[in-house]
Amino acid sequence: MRDTLPKLEKIPFPGLRRARLDTLQMNLGYLCNLSCVHCHVAAGPNRTELMDWGTMETALAFMERQKIRTLDVTGGSPEMNPHFRRLFQAAHELGVHLMDRCNPTIIEEAGFDWIPGFLAEHRVQVVASLPCYQSDNVEKQRGKGSFDKSIRGLQKLNELGYGDPDSGLELDLVYNPVGAHLPPEQSQLEQDYRAFLEHEFGLRFNRLFALANMPIKRWGSLLLSTGQFDDYMDTLRQSHRPENLAGVMCRDLISVDWQGFVYDCDFNQMLELGLGGERVHLADLLDRNLEGHPIRVSGHCYGCTAGQGSSCGGALSDNSAERPAIING
């Protein structure tokens, strides 16, 4: 579904080139136990796309040859891929830092009670989606009962030490706006999350990532159907801060889809915009140096540079301007 692509391609964005590759982000498939309104992947229970083990073996070889430091796994709910544990065990043996972008409601689903213990055993950094700290807003995006399930899943992670500052088990939460607007200032929102969740549920976490909603796939279609698409894009463009260009995730990350094809980021993957404009498989990149290569950009990229900035690691830091952006030309 590329319904927003023609509009996005007409919106110019500053050119970028890649710095040193540090992170391999892998989308293990679009299968998920939820169908969230803001999902830029359009994941859900009826999706059948799942990465096979052969593609994962290629990714492991790539990580070893390219000296990748971080494996960042997403979905859907990545734990629903039957090879999830095998992949993480193998990557753990390579000494790679592991990140699981976890929808915490999955922990409450039948057959997935192994998740907290497995993640703790392999010292996995958990990045858990909790789009608000109040139930009404969460259930508007994720469905009835999703807030309570999320809280119970997070409490089970806490029981194993996740969120404790001295445990080494990092638990980060992810906020997404409910409407067609930018997220509020991240540090203040983190304080609000921390105070409420600790007081009401005894929950602990390390950091909050405030992410802007991307105008693609399910969220882009909703914006189009409600006549908000152009206004939202205007908001993103008018809020663009050039200093955020230095910290966007595509500078040191590539994204791999469930079939093994490579993109400059997860958002480009959903728009079928191949790496630097090419359709290339990870198997063809095992020994290729990508530093300095052009990054495919389009109008949706303003979602990462608007306001405080929004990347896979949340708001972009104020000192990102100290790292020079590599501009095309």
pLDDT tens across 35-51, in order? Answer: 666 666 777 888 999 99
Q: Tell me the per-residue pLDDT of 117-139, one tens digit each, with 9 for 90 and over.
A: 999 999 999 999 888 888 777 77
For the chain, give the percent of residues with pLDDT over 90.
Answer: 63
- Given a cut of 90, whether residue 212 has pLDDT beyond it is no
pLDDT of residue 217: 74
At 121, list the tokens: 């055993």
Segment 225-239 shows an average pLDDT of 90
For the chain, give the percent of residues with pLDDT over 70.
Answer: 91
- Given a cut of 60, whether residue 327 has pLDDT beyond it is no
Alpha helices (H) along 12-114: 53-66, 84-93
- Given a cut of 90, whether residue 67 has pLDDT beyond it is yes
pLDDT of residue 208: 94
- Pick the residue with more confidence: 311 or 64? 64
pLDDT of residue 76: 86
Q: Taking CA 93 as the corner, what is the angle to CA 87 and CA 94, rounded to the nearest 5 degrees?
A: 90
**How many CA atoms within 13 Å lie on the side-chain side of 15?**
9
Q: Which pTM was predicted?
A: 0.90
Segment 217-243 shows an average pLDDT of 87
- Given a cut of 50, whether residue 58 has pLDDT beyond it is yes
CA distance 66 to 44: 33
Entry field: residues in the chain: 329
Segment 61-87 shows an average pLDDT of 96
**Number of CB atoms found within 10 A of residue 319's CB:** 10
Band of pLDDT at residue 89, cut at 50, 70 and 90: very high
Could you tell me which of 150, 171, 149 has the C-alpha nearest to residue 160?
A: 171
pLDDT of residue 1: 42
CA distance 134 to 139: 9
At 66, list the tokens: 């390219």
pLDDT of residue 40: 66
Band of pLDDT at residue 3, cut at 50, 70 and 90: low
What CATH number labels 5-322?
3.20.20.70
pLDDT of residue 39: 63
CA distance 290 to 260: 17
Band of pLDDT at residue 323, cut at 50, 70 and 90: very low
Q: What is the DSSP string of 308-324?
A: T--BTTBSPPGGGGGS-
Query: 306 forms bridges with which residues in the sheet?
Result: 240
Question: Rounded mean pLDDT of the chain?
Answer: 88
Q: Tell me the per-residue pLDDT of 24-38, one tens digit each, with 9 for 90 and over.
A: 999 999 999 876 666
CA distance 86 to 92: 10
Segment 200-212 shows an average pLDDT of 94
* Residues 237/196, Cβ–Cβ less than 8 Å: no
pLDDT of residue 33: 82
pLDDT of residue 329: 40
CA distance 304 to 209: 13
* Residues 149/105, Cβ–Cβ less than 8 Å: yes
**How many CA atoms within 13 Å lie on the side-chain side of 267?**
28
Place of tokens 């952006």: 325
- Given a cut of 70, whether residue 9 has pLDDT beyond it is yes
CA 319 and chain centroid, separation: 22
Segment 57-78 shows an average pLDDT of 96
Q: Residue 263: phi, psi to the nearest 5?
A: -140, 165
Q: Containing H/E element for 151?
A: helix 146-159
Kindly compute the dihedral angle of the four CA atoms of residues 40, 171, 310, 283, in this order, to the nearest 10 degrees.
Answer: -60
CA distance 163 to 156: 11
Strands, E assignment, the chain: 16-17, 23-27, 70-74, 97-102, 125-129, 171-175, 207-210, 253-256, 262-263, 294-295
CA distance 140 to 155: 22
pLDDT of residue 318: 47
- Given a cut of 50, whether residue 15 has pLDDT beyond it is yes
At 162, list the tokens: 């996740």
pLDDT of residue 316: 82
Q: Tell me the per-residue pLDDT of 255-295, one tens digit each, with 9 for 90 and over.
A: 999 999 999 998 899 888 999 888 999 999 999 999 999 99
At 165, list the tokens: 């500052």
Segment 292-319 shows an average pLDDT of 84
Segment 163-185 shows an average pLDDT of 90
